[in-house]
């Protein structure tokens, strides 16, 4: 997608807005002629003068071959036409109807005819003026009819005059002007329509571009050759930290503070014209932490400028990075699980033989206390190792064996009741809240997921704290994009000390634990169980502020192969 660059001299008045587009010039404007509204206003003023002259000539007794009563009637018609024309012309939202203009032209020609009245008067030139004006306003056909009517009226009143030759020359002038203006008006009308269509299309494109840039999830920023901000959309300002971006003001120092890589990419574009495709950058949050963004830049050289404008498009790819980590983690756990099953079987067999041999030795040896102590030590450690191997096998065998429709809130409440009775959870408050939601899942696996997470939280709290478990449908934007369809969310929060930084990156790997005496398999089993449901598990933790595990599970099983 090509993103339009907003030049600095047309920078928006505020972040995220396009400047208002100037109205395109009309065809009449380019020819230095008044526009249609101005012509209509002039016609009304001229008609007032003509009506005044008609009434004046009637009251003065100059008949000129036309009865005074007829002149008065024509004058009254002119007054009515003025009122009608004025009301119609007030509605600036619509174009003046051609029929209305044609009727007005007829009235004006009658007014002029009542004044000319066969005399050799300079007022006959008004025919030419009327034909010219209405030729610009009317369609070609009606413009020619107006010319024909004006010529006919002039011929009718001048045939009574002995100067007939003059009348025919005037008719020729009226006809020539009418035809030329009609042809010119037709071309001007076509050009005006094309410009109007172009202006409408341009306005639509600008509206669509503004709407797209305001709603897309990518940030867009344009910087001119002097390092000033030309444009930034709302999403871009949000990704980069908010309201420090003022159009028309220097922006490179602000970008350097937000993202060193983004700053360098824009500077390279300004100085060398370098474009970046599918790069990556890090953006610093207000708390100093960094998050990744995908980055592309393009350049645009404006005529008459030494440096190009640079437009950068950047997208928060934190969710994408998390999904990549999920995929790698799941593949690693699958490989470890396969190896674990093989090793556990290989170790358990000789371990059983060792245990049996030690038991026989313990019965055969004498009552020597040291020998008995060593025998008990070997037996105790072999039992511990056997339990560890059982957990290891349990981890390797995590599979979703049977999917059925479950009500998750009830399942979690049942798991919470069992966890509250665990010795290591005594003194810990466990609260389950939420709404009944259904999903397709393996009841045993989901029960273990909820139990393990609550027990882990209770062990971290050591009997001094609170655990809140929430079950509900995930809201838009909560689940990683494109990973889970119609997600159901299981949230386990505690107010404990948080997860040690030394184990955060490897938290879901086997044998990784931040607790003395822990096997390090609980969260690995949770991860495998969530993967078996095609779900996602996220963890947010901070020293002294507690830990939150967020699990997103699809509400409906798609029937894909279970791995």
pLDDT tens-digit readout, 88-122: 666 655 566 677 777 777 777 777 777 775 555 66
State the pTM of this model: 0.47
Nearest-angstrom CA–CA distance, 536 and 478 = 12
The CATH classification of domain 219-316, taken from the options 3.40.50.80, 3.20.20.10, 3.30.450.20, 3.30.360.10: 3.30.450.20
Q: Of 16, 496, 20, 79, whose CA–CA distance to 216 is shortest?
A: 16
Cβ-count burial 172-199 (b if 16+ within 10 Å, e if not): ebbbebbbebbebbbebbeebeebeeee
Strands 428-434 and 465-473: parallel
For CATH 1.10.287, the residue range(s) in the chain are 322-396
- CA–CA dist 511, 495 (Å, integer): 24
Contact 218, 313 (CB under 8 A): yes
Model confidence pLDDT, tens digit, residues 338-388: 666 666 666 766 777 777 777 776 666 555 677 677 777 777 777 777 777
Cβ proximity of 181 and 150 under 8 Å? no
Which of the residues in the chain have pLDDT under 50? 1-32, 164-165, 561-563
CATH number for 322-396 (one of 1.10.287, 1.20.120, 3.30.70, 2.60.40): it is 1.10.287
Strand order in the sheet with 229-232: 229-232, 219-223, 309-316, 290-300, 279-284
- Strands 546-554 vs 487-494: parallel, antiparallel or unpaired: antiparallel
Q: How far apart are CA 117 and CA 234, in angstroms?
A: 71
Phi-psi region of 289 (alpha: psi -120 to 50; beta: other; left: phi over 0): beta
What is the three-class DSSP state of 15? coil
Domain limits, CATH 3.30.565.10, in the chain: 404-554
Give the CA-trace dihedral at 162, 165, 168, 174, to 10 degrees.
-100
Token pair of 68, please?
Answer: 């005074």
Helix boundaries (H) for 138-243 = 140-158, 164-215, 234-239
State phi, psi for 18 to the nearest 5 degrees.
Answer: -85, 150
The whole-number pLDDT of residue 241 equals 80
β-pair type (219-223, 229-232): antiparallel
Q: Rounded CA gap, 522 and 66, in Å?
A: 113
CATH code for the domain defined by 404-554:
3.30.565.10
Token couple for 342: 């093989």
Listed residue (305, 299, 234) closest to 267, CA to CA: 299
| Angstrom distance (rounded) from CA 186 to CA 192 | 10
How confident is the model at residue 161, as a pLDDT? 57
Residue where the block lists tokens 């607790």: 515
Q: Where in the chain is the domain with CATH 3.30.450.20?
A: 219-316
Say what the pLDDT of residue 14 is.
41
């Amino acid at each position: 997608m090509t993103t339009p660059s907003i030049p600095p001299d047309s920078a928006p008045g505020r972040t995220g807005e396009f400047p208002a587009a100037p109205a395109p010039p009309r065809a009449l404007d380019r020819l230095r002629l008044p526009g249609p509204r101005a012509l209509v206003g002039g016609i009304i003023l001229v008609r007032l003068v003509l009506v005044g002259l008609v009434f004046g000539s009637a009251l003065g007794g100059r008949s000129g071959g036309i009865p005074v009563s007829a002149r008065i009637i024509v004058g009254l018609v002119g007054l009515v036409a003025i009122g009608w024309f004025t009301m119609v012309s007030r509605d600036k939202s619509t174009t003046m109807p051609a029929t209305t203009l044609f009727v007005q032209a007829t009235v004006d020609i009658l007014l002029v005819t009542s004044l000319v009245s066969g005399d050799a008067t300079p007022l006959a030139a008004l025919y030419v003026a009327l034909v010219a004006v209405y030729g610009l306003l009317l369609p070609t056909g009606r413009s020619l009819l107006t010319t024909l009517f004006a010529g006919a009226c002039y011929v009718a009143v001048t045939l009574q005059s002995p100067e007939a030759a003059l009348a025919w020359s005037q008719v020729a002038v009226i006809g020539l002007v009418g035809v030329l203006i009609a042809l010119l008006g037709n071309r001007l009308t076509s050009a005006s329509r094309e410009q109007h269509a172009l202006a409408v299309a341009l306005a639509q494109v600008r509206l669509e571009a503004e709407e797209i840039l305001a709603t897309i999830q990518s940030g867009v920023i344009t910087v001119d050759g002097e390092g000033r901000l030309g444009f930034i959309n709302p999403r871009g300002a949000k990704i980069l930290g908010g309201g420090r971006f003022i159009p028309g003001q220097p922006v490179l120092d602000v970008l350097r503070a937000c993202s060193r890589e983004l700053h360098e990419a824009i500077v390279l574009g300004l100085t060398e014209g370098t474009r970046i495709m599918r790069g990556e950058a890090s953006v610093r949050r207000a708390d100093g932490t960094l998050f990744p963004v995908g980055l592309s830049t393009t350049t645009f050289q404006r005529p008459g400028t030494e440096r190009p404008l640079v437009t950068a498009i950047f997208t928060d790819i934190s969710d994408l990075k998390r999904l990549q980590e999920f995929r790698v983690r799941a593949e690693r756990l699958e490989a470890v699980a396969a190896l674990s099953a093989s090793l556990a079987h290989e170790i358990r067999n000789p371990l059983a033989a060792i245990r049996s041999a030690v038991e026989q030795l313990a019965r055969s040896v004498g009552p020597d206390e040291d020998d008995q102590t060593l025998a008990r030590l070997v037996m105790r450690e072999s039992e511990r190792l056997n339990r560890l191997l059982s957990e290891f096998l349990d981890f390797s065998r995590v599979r979703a064996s049977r999917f059925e429709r479950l009500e998750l809130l009830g399942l979690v409440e049942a798991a919470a009741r069992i966890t509250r009775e665990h010795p290591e959870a005594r003194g810990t408050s466990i609260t389950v809240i939420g709404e009944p939601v259904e999903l397709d899942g393996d009841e045993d696996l989901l029960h273990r997921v909820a139990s393990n997470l609550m027990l882990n939280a209770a062990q971290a709290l050591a009997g001094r704290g609170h655990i809140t478990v929430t079950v509900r449908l995930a809201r838009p934007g909560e689940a990683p994009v494109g990973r889970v369809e119609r997600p159901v969310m299981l949230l386990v929060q505690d107010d404990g000390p948080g997860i040690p930084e030394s184990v955060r990156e490897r938290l879901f790997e086997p044998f990784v634990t931040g607790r003395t005496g822990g096997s390090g398999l609980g969260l690995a089993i949770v991860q495998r169980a969530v993967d078996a449901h095609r779900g996602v598990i996220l963890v947010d933790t901070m020293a002294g502020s507690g830990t939150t595990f967020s699990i997103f599970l699809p509400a409906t099983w798609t029937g894909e192969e279970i791995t």
